[in-house]
Structure 1
Amino acid sequence: MNRLKQIHAHSLRNGIDQTQYLLTELLQIPNITYAQNLLNLTSKPTAFFYNKLIQAYSAQNQPHRCFSLYTRMCFNGCPPNQFSFTFLFSACASFPSPLYGQMLHTQFFKSGFGHDSFPLTALITMYSKFGKLKLARQVFDEMSMKDLPIWNSMITGYARCGDMDGALELFRSMPNRNLVSWTAMISGYSQTGKYAEALAMFLSMETEESTINHVTIASVLPACASLGALEVGMRIETYARNKGFFKNLYVSNAVLEMYARCGRIDEARRVFDDIGNRRNLCSWNSMIMGLAIHGKSCEALELYNEMLMEETAPDDVTFVGLLLACTHGGLVVQGRQLFKWMSEKYRINAKLEHYGCMVDLLGRAGELQEAYDLIKSMPMKPDSVVWGALLGACNIYGNVEIGEIAAESLFKLEPWNPGNYVILSNIYASKSRWDRVSKLRKVMKSSQITKAAGYSFIEEGGKVHKFIVEDKSHPRSNEIYEVLNEVWSKMRQEKRAANFDLELEEVFMME
């Protein structure tokens, strides 16, 4: 910085114009305040000077300063160019509403740059960030010549707004695709919870031998984790390590999460150890959550203490993992203490997830009244997860009174869910309240509430297959049932088949 000040002083003394060099260097430091003062002292600043500062303010999320410069630019008779509008549209995305962007959109087309790809891409991105897909699509459709970034911008816009059908329609009609196109689709499917589609898109991408980078990998691994596609996930980890992508913390954290959710907690711990000093809060949270879900409660709490020793402050996600660990380990005293520390020691306000964990913890321990009192003390309205945890605990301990309260709340929140009726019916049956059981069945029948067919995902040969009960839609269903029949025949031949047959027939009758 001192060197730049010396150059500036020298240029002023000798009448040398080095404004462009100084401005460029100042913004690389960055020292925007000095750069702004330099612009203010310039007698006739060019569009280049304004654009550099607008870009810098946009990168620092200061859209009002960008518009102030744009206004000054126009007032001083310096017409904006296509780069000005590109940076301004990017800045507009930081405003709370699209009003400024729409005003600028009008000025943009009056300026004669309405066919330039760079500002149009930024314009489509801006409208998409505001959820204005119709306006973005109108800009897209009015373009006579569409290059690849324009297509990708529109697809990303659809994906960002959760309209994956619209994204897929455009993706299929693209004249050509690149890495950004594929990654936008994979990321969009993952973020909208359509994990099977995300994985299928990734496998198609592999088939076409398209280039894969760290962003693609970080986008598809959550899909592998949610589907239990361990084989594909392991193959992706090998690829990531070979390509050097594992050095990227997003990728390594995604691999860790994938192993933890696929039941390979030992592999998750291996990855966690490999990350080493690069660990961030996400790494710690994923490992704590993985240990908690797999019943390794003491290890989860030990890891939490290790995290504190390394001076990594916990957040609300950390406490969800810790409370889950206490729930699975039956550690009621520790759970109460952690729930208390969360607000008193770390100033973290409890969310629905934390209350749900505490209700589940107390309910499993038989502390049903305390769990119900906690629900009544919640500062927010309890959701179906909270009431569902209480109802499940009432089913375990046969508590009719609190069970009815929980069930009534669930009937209002999710009247379509037959599981709540079934659980309450089981509670009545455990207390021989057969009249109540009969009444519930009549309510379900009159309301046409039926149990949805369950389904399973099975990974085989790097592909994930979905099956529902008595499913015959799979192209190899005949072979599948032949194998099942063979297995069934062998089971019947076993000496213990008699008792086992009886249990299976009862299950089939229930189905």
Structure 2
Amino acid sequence: MSTWSGSVRELTALFSALRRARHPNPGHAAQLHARLLVSAGARPHPHPVLLTQLISLYAAAGLLADALRAFRAHLPSANPRTYAVLVSALARPRPGLAFSLFSASRREFRPTSPHLISAALAACAGLRPLCSLQVHACAAKAVPPGDVFVYTGMVDAYAKAGEMASSRKVFDEMTSRVVASWNALLVGYARSQMCFEALSVFRELAAQGREVSLDQVSVSSVLSACAVAGALDFGRQVHACAAKLGLELSAVCVSNALLDMYTRCGCSRESLAMLNAVDCRDVVTWNIIIRGCIHDNRFREACVLFRSMLRNGTLPDDMSLATALQASACMSAWALGASMHASAVKAGFLDSDGVASSLITMYSKCGCLDDARRAFEGAEDHLYVMSWTAMITALQQHGRGMQAIDVFEKMLENGIPPDHITFVSVLSSCSHSGLVEQGRKYFNSMTQDHNIKPWTEHYACMVDMFGRAGLLGEAKQFIDQMRVRPDASVLGALLASCMSFRDLEMGKEVAKKLFVIEPGNTGNYVLLANIYASHGRLEEAKEVRRWMMFYELRKEKGCSLFNNESRTCTL
């Protein structure tokens, strides 16, 4: 027995030493596994402590399949700590399996240990909210309310599942909190774009004083909320806090968040000052600067900055390429976009849905539908909703409505759920192709099959579809039955149809509503005047144009945005 105990101590020391290595050698894990079996002698299974350490070593070496095999082979030796180590290792790559192991451990060991509950909470981020509720029920029975570590994980799990009301409730019930508890709630609000709630939590956290100190996670998260909400004044106050704490330039995530906040709020002077003050620019810094240029329609400058990033030795990520491709698409710069395509291939980013969708959009806007199709087909096995939507939109914009619908049907067959933008393109395709019945079917399927609440754009597409088919009465009836008040895009589509089919009475009625909604839009006056003129009522048409002169409205001259020089722009 003493020999066995000595062997356990020896192997425990070996496991600990290997696990502390920065990159554990996979071969060492297998060798120690063999040594473990030899040391067990006549015993059918190794000591529970050694089994736990073996699984931990396999997980640290990235050999999750071997860790699972060792666990299943020696299941009788597993204790709650063994389950906790394996559940923690599987939480991110295979959350479903991790939660199944947690459920199995509950049948085996009662009460559930806090370590195991914490490991299961990490898996809940990739699962349904119901899983968080089940773990919460276990924690309520087995873990005292004062366990900050477990209940902070609970706040974080609910927040990652989008259940912010439950997250706040758990947070409020905690008897003691640390900065990680506050950060979990704050990050959850920021990620859910509940920006004003995030600002309120930050105020509460800042009021704690020395009890709980702010850190870079708190500051960067609230700055992200300020950027989304456009809360510039509050953001400046947070900037002052960051400067007092020494986080303004020492923490890259904080300096990037400040740069992003000032860029999104349109403060070019402050964003330039932040950019000049930052010594270390990582890829996130460059992405923020490039995105800011695109936001201000400075597309050529965005491409120049992308080139500067490459020359600076900063490797682009998928976000960098997607953003730069967006700039080249806006300039219709085919050569520039094609060179970025080559960079994406070299860097292995074609699997990224953002890069693939940006490539499709870029080629489509450059008038190269065949290239867009090849980019789509080249990455079809890795595509998600963004890329499918980009291809459907490209076909629709090039007048290939039937092909766009075929791609949409193929998307549904592949099990890819459509989003709001997908349906805008599909309904627009039905409108331009005269497919009224199919358009009705897709519009109804939005709410019935996909639980998508229609936007104004969807209503406008339907009105345009009815109008193009000459069904003006049905278009009018559709508007009257809308659950939301029709805006200018919906009524504008109906007015354009009244012009096409010379419906004067309905045109006058719709135009009067539009004059109230957008009195400065000259297009509505021109359409009404043309409807009058088409009926030979020239005096009424002149009267409409006199209204335009009275309100000092002028129809803008047509112009082309195409720039031949931009097609030759290269990196």
Match of 2:483 in 1: 379
Give the partner amino acid of 2:333.
Answer: A
Give the partner amino acid of 2:491.
Answer: W
> Of residues 206, 210, 216 in structure 2, which corresponds to 1:110?
210
Residue 27 (structure 1) shift: 5.5
8 Å CA contact 2:303–2:327 kept in 1: the answer is: no
8 Å CA contact 1:199–1:220 kept in 2: the answer is: no
Residue 433 (structure 1) shift: 1.3
Match of 1:286 in 2: 390
TM-score by length of 1: 0.73
Match of 2:201 in 1: 100
Match of 1:439 in 2: 543
Q: 1:415 to 1:277 in 2, by over 3 A?
A: same
User: In the TM superposition, what are the counterparts of 1:466-477 in structure 2 within 5 Å?
Assistant: none
8 Å CA contact 1:256–1:271 kept in 2: the answer is: yes
Q: How many residues align?
A: 445
Residue 415 of structure 1 aligns to a residue whose secondary structure is coil
8 Å CA contact 1:186–1:199 kept in 2: the answer is: no
Q: 1:334 to 1:56 in 2, by over 3 A?
A: closer
The answer to whether structure 1 residue 134 and structure 2 residue 238 are counterparts is: no
Residue 246 (structure 1) shift: 1.2
Match of 2:371 in 1: 267
Alpha-carbon separation, structure 2, partners of 1:345 and 1:8:
40
User: In the TM superposition, what are the counterparts of 1:222-237 in structure 2 within 5 Å?
Assistant: 222-237=326-341
> Of residues 315, 335, 351 in structure 1, which corresponds to 2:439?
335
Q: 1:334 to 1:453 in 2, by over 3 A?
A: same
Alpha-carbon separation, structure 2, partners of 1:43 and 1:367:
66
Give the partner amino acid of 1:135.
Answer: F
Alpha-carbon separation, structure 1, partners of 2:183 and 2:451:
42
8 Å CA contact 1:57–1:65 kept in 2: the answer is: yes
The answer to whether structure 1 residue 207 and structure 2 residue 308 are counterparts is: yes
Match of 2:530 in 1: 426
The answer to whether structure 1 residue 390 and structure 2 residue 461 are counterparts is: no
Q: 1:60 to 1:303 in 2, by over 3 A?
A: closer
Q: Give per-residue Cα distances to partners, 1:219-259, cap 9 Å, x unaligned.
A: 33334334433333222212111111112122112212222
Q: 1:281 to 1:233 in 2, by over 3 A?
A: same
Q: 1:455 to 1:464 in 2, by over 3 A?
A: farther
The answer to whether structure 1 residue 163 and structure 2 residue 266 are counterparts is: yes
Q: 1:452 to 1:156 in 2, by over 3 A?
A: same
Q: 1:119 to 1:67 in 2, by over 3 A?
A: farther
8 Å CA contact 2:154–2:170 kept in 1: the answer is: no
Q: Out of 349-358 and 54-63, give the one that drifted further.
A: 54-63
Q: 1:166 to 1:87 in 2, by over 3 A?
A: farther
Q: Out of 359-368 and 435-444, give the one that drifted further.
A: 359-368
8 Å CA contact 2:122–2:153 kept in 1: the answer is: no
Match of 1:5 in 2: 80
Q: 1:152 to 1:5 in 2, by over 3 A?
A: same
Residue 448 (structure 1) shift: 0.7
Q: 1:435 to 1:228 in 2, by over 3 A?
A: same
Alpha-carbon separation, structure 2, partners of 1:290 and 1:55:
40
Match of 1:15 in 2: none
Alpha-carbon separation, structure 2, partners of 1:362 and 1:301:
18
Match of 2:285 in 1: 181
Q: 1:5 to 1:327 in 2, by over 3 A?
A: same
Give the partner amino acid of 1:425.
Answer: A
Alpha-carbon separation, structure 2, partners of 1:316 and 1:37:
38
Residue 391 of structure 1 aligns to a residue whose secondary structure is helix
8 Å CA contact 1:315–1:348 kept in 2: the answer is: yes
Alpha-carbon separation, structure 2, partners of 1:247 and 1:343:
31
Give the partner amino acid of 1:263.
Answer: G
Residue 262 (structure 1) shift: 3.3
The answer to whether structure 1 residue 402 and structure 2 residue 402 are counterparts is: no
Alpha-carbon separation, structure 2, partners of 1:323 and 1:119:
43
Alpha-carbon separation, structure 1, partners of 2:431 and 2:440:
11
Match of 1:500 in 2: none
Alpha-carbon separation, structure 2, partners of 1:37 and 1:333:
52
Residue segments in structure 1 that go unaligned for 5+ positions in a row: 10-18, 466-511
Residue 113 (structure 1) shift: 3.7
Residue 561 of structure 2 aligns to a residue whose secondary structure is strand
8 Å CA contact 2:186–2:201 kept in 1: the answer is: no
> Of residues 255, 258, 280 in structure 2, which corresponds to 1:151?
255
> Of residues 301, 320, 323 in structure 2, which corresponds to 1:216?
320
Match of 1:90 in 2: 187
8 Å CA contact 2:114–2:139 kept in 1: the answer is: no
8 Å CA contact 2:333–2:366 kept in 1: the answer is: yes
Residue 110 of structure 1 aligns to a residue whose secondary structure is coil
Residue 457 of structure 1 aligns to a residue whose secondary structure is coil
8 Å CA contact 1:90–1:126 kept in 2: the answer is: no
Q: Out of 22-31 and 119-128, give the one that drifted further.
A: 22-31
Residue 103 (structure 1) shift: 1.1
Residue 152 (structure 1) shift: 1.0
Residue 183 (structure 1) shift: 1.0
8 Å CA contact 1:26–1:35 kept in 2: the answer is: no
8 Å CA contact 2:121–2:135 kept in 1: the answer is: no
Q: Give per-residue Cα distances to partners, 1:393-416, cap 9 Å, x unaligned.
A: 222233222222222222112111
Alpha-carbon separation, structure 2, partners of 1:349 and 1:234:
37
Q: 1:430 to 1:37 in 2, by over 3 A?
A: closer
Q: 1:245 to 1:383 in 2, by over 3 A?
A: same
Residue 67 (structure 1) shift: 7.7
Q: Give per-residue Cα distances to partners, 1:51-98, cap 9 Å, x unaligned.
A: 666655654556665785687463xxxx83x65655454345356623
8 Å CA contact 1:225–1:259 kept in 2: the answer is: yes
Residue 290 (structure 1) shift: 1.8
Residue 349 (structure 1) shift: 4.7
Give the partner amino acid of 1:197.
Answer: R
Q: Out of 130-139 and 286-295, give the one that drifted further.
A: 130-139
8 Å CA contact 1:182–1:201 kept in 2: the answer is: no
Residue segments in structure 2 that go unaligned for 5+ positions in a row: 1-70, 85-112, 125-130
Alpha-carbon separation, structure 1, partners of 2:206 and 2:189:
10
8 Å CA contact 2:202–2:218 kept in 1: the answer is: no
Q: Give per-residue Cα distances to partners, 1:290-318, cap 9 Å, x unaligned.
A: 21221112222322333333344444433
Alpha-carbon separation, structure 2, partners of 1:89 and 1:374:
43
8 Å CA contact 1:86–1:120 kept in 2: the answer is: no
Residue 427 (structure 1) shift: 2.0
Match of 2:220 in 1: 121
Q: Give per-residue Cα distances to partners, 1:264-288, cap 9 Å, x unaligned.
A: 2211211221122222233322222
Match of 2:48 in 1: none
